[in-house]
Homo-oligomer: A and B are copies of this chain.
C-alpha cells in the first residue's frame, strides 16, 4: 500500500489540502522541469529536504546542471508520443504496483492547453489502466488536486458522495453518451455532450450524486 504524488510544472498549489496530500505521500515523482518547483517548495512543505524518488520525462526543459546533480533519480524517456505527465504515470504504474492512491499536483494553471490536455489525460489513464477516481479492487484511485478543486475520471455508472451543495461539473468527450443523473440541481438527462461546457457549473442537491451512463465511456468530474 503506497500513496504517490506526481508533481507537474503547472501552478504548485498554495492551499493546505493538496499540500497535505504531498506530505502524506510515500513516493514523489516530478515531471521533468517540475523538479525546479519541487526544490523550491520541499523544505517549506516538509521542514527539511525531501528529494523526489524519481524525475521522469524527456528532460528537454530541465537544465543540464540539475540533470547531472540528480542523475541517480532521473528517468530519461525520450519518446515524444506521450507528454511528461503520462510518462510519470506510466512509471508509477510500472514501478509501484502497491499504489493505492495517485494524486496529480501542479498539473493545471499556466498554459491553458496544458490544463485542458492534462485534465483529459485522466480519462486516458482510465481507458489504459482501468484507474478512476473511485475505489476499485487492486487499482489505485487517481485524481488531480488543485487550489480550486478535485478532478477525476469515471468510466461507468456510479454514485458520488460529494455532499449537498457541492459545485460539480461533468464533462465527456463522447458525443454519443447520455447520462441520467440524480442529486443534481440541473439533471443531465437531456445533455448532449457535443461541447465541453454542456454539463458544467452544476450543484449537488443531495449528498449523493448518481450518474447512470448510457454505455461505458469516458467522463471527467470536477468538484470544487
B-contacting residues of A (Cβ < 8 Å)? 83, 108-121, 123-124, 146, 148-149, 151, 169, 171, 173-176, 193-197, 200-201, 218, 222, 224
Contact = CB atoms under 8 A, between A and B. Distances in A.
Contacts of A116: 115-116, 119, 169, 171, 196-197, 200, 222
Contacts of A117: 169, 196-197, 200-201
Contacts of A149: 111-113
Nearest to A86: B197
Interface of A is mostly: mixed
Question: What is the total number of copies of this protein in its complex?
Answer: 2
Contacts of A146: 112
Contact of A175 (B108, B119, B174, B197): B174
B111 A196 contact: no
Contacts of A195: 120, 123-124, 173, 218
A113 B151 CA distance: 9
Nearest to A185: B80
Contacts of A222: 111-113, 116
B173 A120 contact: no
Nearest to A218: B195
A111 B148 contact: yes
